Chain A
């Protein structure tokens, strides 16, 4: 650890206590890996403000971190001097099932939110594979869940949030209501902002009615393109699945997740069987974090799948390719976590019509005017330049 890092470590320990500063990664505490930058875990909002005050006075850059389940989606850590972990900033602030809203501290695991909502006859979306992911982390990385096809992206569920922009400034936008257009929607910038615009303290999600029945079905298909063709027929039908996926490992499987009123699910099952007679019930499938995700439009699903397949072949890693034609997305899920840089360094030229969502280093082809405006907005949201970019 460098002298500067050592200095930072001492300052952090003095602020929040030595037991609340770690140099081991929380996602692999028993590993031999040592972080080059420490993580401080404030016990409350007051300590979080003190950490930001330290950053300001010492000219340091910080980066918020949640449970570490989407480490590849964070803003690059290299420019941060320390991380602020939200582990202790957790708990439910307000939950009224009949209103269909849930407000919680940013460090609250999504699992807890889902459980609580279910007890009130509600459903939280996104449903994430890593249920230990935090609310703040899910928002900062704009996580796509298992049910996006039905409910839309996370930004459509986010009703409002409050974030610390500096020690003195907390900024709230939106609210705890399902409908509200007062003020500018700054929370839209935090959603997918990768922690670069402030430390999210609390957020409110819109809830949906719990599903009366759920059913997962699957069928083996000849190949990726055959799976996509069937998926498109399902998407053109009257059914409203939670997701339709083509999963390619050693074999290629078409998977469909149905949910809703029991009579509707039964109806939709008949529709599915008419499209593909070999559908059979299946257990829910959980995927890990993707190392790569690309998006396009539905009409480009075949090209997207073919290109992503080529990427997979080039990576020389054991990965599962998951194509979701309904949300025009393709992901590569590794059998074991790998570093972000490994993927980004191996990406070939990106064809027109395909957007690589991850990793962040991949150039997006935005115009200079758009980039300049993004930069101005970024400065507006982080006026003291505290957050790592």
Chain B
């Protein structure tokens, strides 16, 4: 990196906010997809929009690629560089600028941690609905970039449905202020387009979010399935709950390996160790609504063979049941040192057959599969436990991952429900979209970023343009 540029950047945002020493840069060489890594040349930590814009104007002058980054909890390699460039992280932008209880919105810095937003508005009996498993670490800006979901997306939808406005710094360093909360967009829906663009359009520095009123009553349920076909029957129960029109706020499935890992970890939730699958269900609303829906779900799951049905008796038990679910990825560290978290979507009527298909694929490659997923949305997370120090095993993981995605797309599904395409799935995006589709997306990308300096090599392949890409994933490139 040009020393003169580093000095200029230090003048703009201070020496402490410019990370250039090799040891500190290591933290930024990958996101939570540790399989792929590449060093950043420099990391910048601007504290606000003005500092970010000043840095990005300078980087534009030097024509340097920029990789936006939140907390680095993403699972597709989207927040790490692929061929040098500068990482601009929002981790110092943790401000809560305003909370408007009557109008149901808040304006916050992009680096605010997801759970801290809900804490900030709790006194107003409001909460922020999207709740990724990483919500204790992931940032609102990162959620915007990936259009993140979470268990309660079943009722409340993904991030895009909760974003009312943004402040975006363009690759040229211009500030686009779209932060005024709007009932409907003025003209082209720039905010709607930006959400889910995975850092390829610009850097979001401020976010105006919609807040939801806290429900009067919340009940958390656990339906336990045992026996060889327990996972099948758990899947059937989910499909049936949706088919009959019951409306819980979250429906999650955890399989036996996940249950065992959770119960042996510090996240132990009291899931029955011998179970082949559990359904973790949450119901919210008025007392009448919650009681009625819970009764209907209990009757339905028992009819479909649930061996046990439990209702959390108090807040402590409720919290514990969810801690187990949210800590499941971490708990899998007990099974193997690394975890490949696949993220595919299938039609909700095909849950049983597609979960079976993923199990069969993992078995064929001799891999250990733990499944925990947002069943209500058809969003599968087949998690392959492996050791990345073993190149041969890593190669099998990559191949199995691709095969799982292909099977899901073939069944009418999608490559990603909440993690994004990033670097990981770039090679498979052609399974979903034609060249024309991708070209249309490419033109929109060029409208935001004419020189393709924002997060190059991610999200969509721009075949007509020069991409700084180390190529889509392959067994050989995984380290």
Chain A residues proximal to chain B, CB less than 8 Å: 96-101, 121-122, 142, 144, 152-153, 155-156, 165, 168-173, 175-186, 188-189, 191-193, 209-210, 238-240, 260-261, 263-264, 267-268, 295-299, 327-329, 355, 357, 364, 366-367, 369-371, 373-374, 376-381, 383
Which 7 interchain pairs have the tightest Cβ spacing? A209-B245, A188-B192, A171-B440, A376-B447, A380-B443, A98-B243, A295-B183
A180 CA to B153 CA, complexed, in Å: 12
A169 CA to B436 CA, complexed, in Å: 6
B381 CB → nearest A CB, Å: 12
Residues of A within 8 A of B30 (CB): none
Known interface pairs A98-B348, A176-B347, A239-B286; 6 further A-B residue pairs with C-beta atoms within 8 A, sorted by A's residue number: A98-B242, A179-B374, A181-B149, A182-B432, A183-B429, A377-B190
A298 CA to B102 CA, complexed, in Å: 7
Residue of B103, B146, B243, B414 touching A97 (CB-CB under 8 A) = B243
A304 CA to B433 CA, complexed, in Å: 44
Q: Tell whether, in the assembled complex, residue A381 and residue B444 are in contact, meaning their CB atoms are under 8 Å apart.
A: yes
Q: Tell whether, in the assembled complex, residue B286 and residue A238 are in contact, meaning their CB atoms are under 8 Å apart.
A: yes
B182-198 residues with Cβ-Cβ distance < 8 A to A are: 182-190, 192-193, 195-197
Q: Tell whether, in the assembled complex, residue B444 and residue A377 are in contact, meaning their CB atoms are under 8 Å apart.
A: yes
Contacts A156-B161, A181-B417 given; does A373 touch B447 at CB 8 Å: yes
Q: Is B439 an interface residue (CB 8 A)?
A: yes
B276 CB → nearest A CB, Å: 24
Chain B residues proximal to chain A, CB less than 8 Å: 100, 102-104, 146-147, 149, 153, 157-158, 160-161, 170, 174-178, 181-190, 192-193, 195-197, 216, 239, 242-247, 285-286, 288-289, 292-293, 345-349, 374, 377-379, 412-421, 425, 429, 432-434, 436-441, 443-448, 459-460
Contacts A172-B433, A181-B158, A260-B289 given; does A369 touch B193 at CB 8 Å: no
Residue of B183, B188, B420 touching A181 (CB-CB under 8 A) = B420
Q: Tell whether, in the assembled complex, residue A180 and residue B345 are in contact, meaning their CB atoms are under 8 Å apart.
A: yes
Residues of B within 8 A of A268 (CB): 286
A49 CA to B434 CA, complexed, in Å: 17
Q: Can you list 7 A-B pairs with a CB-CB distance of less than 8 A?
A: A173-B437, A179-B374, A181-B416, A183-B438, A264-B285, A329-B183, A374-B188
Most chain B CB inside 10 Å of its own CB: which residue of A97, A189, A329: A189
A97 CA to B440 CA, complexed, in Å: 31
Q: Tell whether, in the assembled complex, residue B440 and residue A179 are in contact, meaning their CB atoms are under 8 Å apart.
A: no
Contacts A121-B245, A183-B432 given; does A155 touch B414 at CB 8 Å: no
Residues of A within 8 A of B413 (CB): 177
A178 CA to B157 CA, complexed, in Å: 9
A369 CA to B173 CA, complexed, in Å: 12
Residues of B within 8 A of A370 (CB): 176-178, 190
Residues of B within 8 A of A176 (CB): 347, 412
Residue of A96, A188, A240 touching B193 (CB-CB under 8 A) = A188
A298 CA to B104 CA, complexed, in Å: 9
Contacts A180-B416, A182-B429, A374-B190 given; does A298 touch B103 at CB 8 Å: yes
Residues of B within 8 A of A188 (CB): 160, 189, 192-193
Residue of B187, B346, B418, B433 touching A374 (CB-CB under 8 A) = B187
Q: Tell whether, in the assembled complex, residue B175 and residue A169 are in contact, meaning their CB atoms are under 8 Å apart.
A: no
Q: Tell whether, in the assembled complex, residue A193 and residue B103 are in contact, meaning their CB atoms are under 8 Å apart.
A: no
Contacts A185-B193, A298-B102 given; does A179 touch B188 at CB 8 Å: no
